[in-house]
Structure 1
Amino acid sequence: MQPRPVNMCEEQTVSLVDILQEDEELEEEASAVLAGSDSDHCSYPQGYVKRQALYACNTCTPKGGEAAGVCLACSYKCHEGHDLFELYTKRNFRCDCGNGKFKDLQCKLHPEKDELNTLNKYSQNFFGSYCTCGRPYPDPDDQVEDEMIQCVVCEDWLHGRHLGCTVPDSVELQEMICEACMNKNPFLWVYAARLAAPGAAAQLTESQRADESNTNRPLKEPQVDDAVEPSCKRLRQDAEPSCRLKELQAAAQKAEQSGAVFWPSTWRSKLCSCSACRERLSEAGLPFLLDESDTVLAYENKGKSSEQTQQGHDPLMSALDNLNRVQQLEIIHGYNDMKSELKDFLQRFAAEGKVVTSDDIHHFFEQQSEKRRRESCT
């Protein structure tokens, strides 16, 4: 979530570079979030979807009522024209559209639904409130330009200035766990001392920095002397690997336990997956932390890949199926010529750092019309 302030003036002019960059960013963001979800079919039959784009309808389930979330397709087909809160993505959620939480609305895509989805988890986000400050997004009363970052555990969005730590420069490549979730699961602070990203809240104390070279070494199993170690004990150790978490606790590596913590992209693979730790994560409702495909980055990459695969299915090309071969070629050539000429026309403005005005665009299409008239007369 990144605020995009707009400055209004009597005559708005922007550079072509700004237009192209903004358009590219919006398209990439939309592809990343939406391409991983189905825009035509309600996700309800899939059960509790691992991760999907979600919306809350302020028109159907306003604040004061029960929280509910709807999938991408239902936001289009069942809630068109409604006041929707974009929730970005949530994990393990089943579409609520038209169930018992909706008084006067029936889902158009999948009417037969259980009264409630008991495993869904809801938060203040479903009523348009975010962060520890509980403010809306975008916030008309907040003049501070600040990005919002999602906690990978509670999945709330927090202002960067309310995290209680320094936000890393490469934040888009890292995952964040807010201070409240860290304190709720104190064993995460043990990992934070070893795995947290530099510059985040988990900073080693001066006395611990002396051992930094040792703490940065990869974790490894204790060495066993084969000559004296009983074979039965060696087999038992092979079957029950040592607990990484206990090794870190024994090493007494502690971080300053305050503020949110940022984790590098590979941190999940370094968590202990022994049976005791798996049980601990399950009891805490955090088994997904051992799943690297659970990350928003993995979901976004899947969406981008899906979008790139579908780019070849141009709607114009689909319409050409009803035309004969000669007509198809004429239209395709004309379409490609116009795209190429428009691109060249705009690139001249970009190269010279000039702005494109409405008169420039009108002039371009007038030239195109004149060109077609000349060609039709020959």
Structure 2
Amino acid sequence: MAATEGDEGTVSLVDVLEEDEELENEASAVLGGSDAEKCSYPEGYVKRQALYACNTCTPAGGEAEAAGVCLACSYKCHEGHELFELYTKRNFRCDCGNSKFGAMECKLFAEKEKVNAENLYSHNFFGLYCTCNRPYPDPEDQVPDEMIQCVVCEDWLHGRHLGCSVPENVELQEMVCELCMKKAPFLWTYAACIAVSPVTKESKGEVKNDHEHVDEKSKGEEASTSPKDLKVNGVTGCKRSYQDTEASPSQMAECRLKVLQTSGRTREESGAVFWPCGWRSKLCSCTSCKTKTAFLLDESDTVLAYENKGKTTEQEGGGDGRDPLMSALNNLNHVQQLEIIHEYNDMKTELKDYLQRFAEEGKVVTPEDIRHFFEQQQGRKRRRADASQYYCS
């Protein structure tokens, strides 16, 4: 495959296309599960959807002004406004055009109640995140750090502000922040037995699993049966102890949480908690516990389930999934491949510059904007072709 030389080494067109495909898949995961044409308000409190907050219409000033709009309204009703991307939120009804927006009406669905009483808001709706209450990206923060979302409050927190070390392959796990753990203290019981063990660093730089506050009997059992322990991303958990408590059907029929509370397993109640895949299915679903766990018992509530839905929707509407450009490249000679690479790189640079203006002004890029860009590209191409023809004659 032909390649181009740059300051960062050789990059093939295949590499560029694969990178673009990855970015497209990420966008599809977030936006594919939401409707870009119709306001989601008639659907009521949608289980999970992509949301935005408009700083132009509802600027920061207090909890009463916080509001969120659906994907379609961000395009149709708030074009050119300064928007904060909220990623996804659960059980939310579109606020666009209600009393929080003054005289403004929703262009897609005008008949809305004054407020959506069941909506939950946070500082995210004013473009602020984490316990440090800062924007993202933060122009004053020079420390490179990833943002991780709590599955309970759905706030995004810096890894360094979680009160614990972030385990490897964190994208395969779910996290509950320390504040939410303390608001739902029963989760500490589950954390002692099924969560990823907290990781601490020794003075020599070694990493160890921290099983603090475990009684002597539990320590002895753990030492004698460690091969049975579950390893999640290389971190040893304590599924063995959890499975032992599951052994009695009569006890489990009563309340799984109560059985765990009598197991003797404890854990230091500090820092965020990372949970392995499938942890929700291990929560007790008895009548009493359902009032505590609610949405946590619903596997379809997860962001992963929503993203998979978005990807599936895109695949179902996108034909056989094969990239026609990738297929066409196999039939081109070396010179033709180089010409396409140069054309592609020129277009990519111009598109980046074009979109940068929207980012600087905090505007949403609409389909009309993209069509306008490619119309300009076609115009430039025709002018270059005409100039070339004139020169050759």
Distance 2:298 2:151 in 1: 12
Q: Structure 1 length normalisation: TM-score? A: 0.74
Q: Give yes or no for the alignment of 1:204 onto 2:211.
A: yes
Q: Does structure 1 residue 130 correspond to structure 2 residue 129? A: yes
Distance 1:14 1:108 in 2: 49
- TM-fit CA distance, 1:64: 0.7
The one-character-per-residue Cα deviations of 1:43-67 (angstroms, maximum 9, x if unpaired) are 0000000000000000000001500
One-letter code of the match for 1:113? Answer: K
1:241 correspondence with 2:273: no
Alignment RMSD, CA only? 3.7
Match of 2:354 in 1: none
Counterparts of 1:259 and 1:189, CA distance in 2: 11
The SS at the match of 1:247 is helix
Letter of the 2:41 counterpart: Y
Equivalence for 2:269:
257
Q: Could you tell me which residue of structure 1 aligns to residue 278 of structure 2?
A: 266
1:63-84 superposed Cα distances (whole Å, 9 cap, x missing partner): 0150000000000111111100
- Once the two structures are superposed, what CA deviation does each residue of 1:95-122 show, in whole Å capped at 9, x if it has no partner? 0000000024210000110000000000
Cα separation, 1, equivalents of 2:100 and 2:309: 32
Query: Does structure 2 conserve the Cα–Cα contact (< 8 Å) formed by 1:268 and 1:290?
Result: yes
Change over 3 Å in CA distance of 1:79–1:14 after alignment to 2: farther
Q: Distance in 1 between matches of 2:219 and 2:171?
A: 27
Find the residue that maps to 2:151 and give its secondary structure.
Answer: coil
In the other structure, the counterpart of 1:112 is 111
Change (3 A) 1:121 1:15: farther
Aligned equivalents of 2:153 and 2:307: distance in 1? 19
Can you list the C-alpha shifts for 1:22-53, whole angstroms capped at 9, x where unaligned?
42332111010000011110000000000000
Alpha carbons of 1:343 and 1:126: their partners in 2 closer, same or farther (altered >3 Å)? farther
Aligned to 1:37: 34
1-structure distance, mates of 2:54, 2:7: 34
Larger radius of gyration: 1
Give the alignment's TM-score, normalised by structure 2: 0.71
Q: CA deviation at 1:210?
A: 3.3
For residues 113 and 246 of structure 1, what CA distance do their matches in structure 2 show? Answer: 45
Task: Work out whether residues 200 and 261 of structure 1, in 8 Å CA contact, stay in contact via their aligned partners in 2.
Answer: no
* Contact 2:197-2:211 at 8 Å conserved across structures: no
- Aligned mates of 1:25, 1:344 — CA distance in 2: 26
Runs of 4 or more consecutive aligned structure 1 residues displaced over 6 Å after TM superposition = 11-14, 342-349
Higher strand proportion, which one?
Answer: 2
Question: What are structure 1's unaligned runs of at least 5 residues?
Answer: 1-10, 224-236, 315-331, 374-378
1:25 to 17, 22, 27: 22
Say yes or no: does 1:216 pair with 2:239.
yes
User: What is the CA distance between 1:173 and its match in structure 2?
Assistant: 1.2
Distance in structure 2 (CA, Å) of the matches to 1:347 and 1:312 = 25
Which one is further off, 21-30 or 46-55?
A: 21-30
Seen in structure 2, the aligned counterparts of structure 1 residues 179 and 341 have a Cα distance that, compared at 3 Å, is same
Q: Which residue of 1 aligns with 2:83?
A: 84
**Residues 198 and 19 of structure 1, relative CA distance in 2, 3 Å threshold:** farther
Partner amino acid, structure 2, of 1:112: E
Cα distance in structure 2, aligned partners of 1:154 and 1:341: 52
Please tell me whether the aligned partners of residues 198 and 273 of structure 2 are also in contact (alpha carbons under 8 angstroms): no
State percent identity of aligned pairs: 60
Q: Give the Cα–Cα distance (whole angstroms) in 1 for the partners of residues 280 and 337 of structure 2.
A: 44
Secondary structure in 2 matching 1:211: helix
SS of residue in 1 equivalent to 2:139? coil
Deviation, structure 1 residue 340: 5.0
Counterpart residue number, 1:187: 186
Distance 1:109 1:195, change over 3 A: same
Residue type at the aligned position of 1:306? T
The gaps in structure 2 that reach 5 residues or longer are: 1-5, 201-208, 229-237, 350-380
Secondary structure of 2:101's partner? coil
Q: Is the Cα contact below 8 Å between 1:178 and 1:261 reproduced in 2?
A: yes
Alignment partner, residue 235 of structure 2: none
2:309 maps to 1:302: yes
**CA deviation after TM superposition for structure 1 residue 125, in Å:** 0.1
Paired amino acid for 1:111? A
Which secondary structure does the structure 1 equivalent of 2:99 belong to? coil
* Post-superposition CA distance 1:153-210 (Å, at most 9, x none): 0000000111111112111111100000001111100000111124458942265443
Deviation at 1:275, TM superposition (A): 1.5
- The letter of the residue matching 2:300 is S
| CA 1:344–1:68: 2 relative to 1, 3 Å | farther
Asked if the contact 1:50–1:92 (Cα under 8 Å) also holds between the matched residues in 2, the reply is yes
- Partner in structure 1 of residue 287 of structure 2: 275
Over residues 233-254 of structure 1, what are the superposed CA-to-partner deviations in whole Å (9 max), with x where a residue is unaligned? xxxx59x813111111101201
- Residue 53 of structure 2 contacts residue 126 of structure 2 at CA under 8 Å; is this kept in 1? yes
Does the residue aligned with 1:53 lie in a helix, a strand or coil?
Answer: strand
- 1:152 counterpart = 2:151: yes
- 1:55 aligns with 52
Q: 1:345 to 1:117 in 2, by over 3 A?
A: farther
Any conservation in 2 of the 1:179–1:260 contact (CA below 8 Å)? yes
